């Protein structure tokens, strides 16, 4: 089964990173493909917990947690219930996080993905095209996860350069408006 992975050191403890990657209702903060996640039953953690992840078009896909080792490893597998699934050249089998403590209280996060290919074209694509494409998505997810824990950037002193003029207005409406 073809697989690929990316890793990144996150400036947070294993426990903090674990909470972020297993808090699926807030997965949109690090996984841009999942705009919204809802649990399909009362179970929210451990093997068997099922959820539906919606993309930005509002299309939902069902997943379940297929492996669970607290603060070490968690894998998400798509639920194979789509009738036209056999028409896909490449089918996602799982995505998983492995967390490893490193120096200074940081965590090395390895994000992995596995697929299967259907037919000769699927076999070729899953081995020679998909890995590079998928690594881009894995890297983006890790960078967003990293940003959740990165210290806020220090703001410049207001008096440093008055030539720049006033700050542009915020693109977000004040709380309570919208």
Q: What share of the chain is helix, strand, coil (3-state, %, to 5)?
A: 30, 30, 35
pLDDT in tens, 100-144: 999 999 999 999 999 989 899 888 888 888 888 899 999 999 999
Write down the pTM of the prediction: 0.79
d(CA 92, CA 94): 6
Q: What is the Cα gyration radius of the chain?
A: 20
């Amino acid at each position: 089964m073809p697989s690929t992975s990316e890793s990144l050191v996150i400036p947070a403890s294993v426990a903090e990173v674990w909470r972020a990657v297993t808090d699926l209702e807030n997965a949109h903060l690090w996984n841009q493909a999942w705009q919204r996640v809802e649990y399909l039953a009362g179970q929210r953690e451990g093997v068997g917990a099922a959820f539906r992840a919606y993309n930005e078009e509002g299309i939902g896909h069902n997943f379940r947690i297929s492996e669970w080792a607290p603060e070490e490893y968690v894998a998400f597998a798509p639920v194979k219930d789509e009738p036209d699934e056999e028409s896909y050249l490449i089918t996602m089998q799982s995505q998983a996080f492995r967390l490893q403590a490193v120096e200074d209280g940081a965590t090395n996060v390895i994000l992995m993905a596995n697929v299967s290919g259907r037919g000769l074209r699927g076999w070729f694509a899953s081995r020679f095209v998909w890995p590079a494409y998928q690594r881009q998505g894995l890297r983006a997810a890790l960078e967003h996860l990293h940003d959740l824990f990165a210290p806020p950037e220090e703001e410049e002193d207001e008096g440093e350069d008055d030539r720049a003029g006033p700050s542009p207005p915020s693109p977000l409406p004040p709380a309570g408006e919208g």
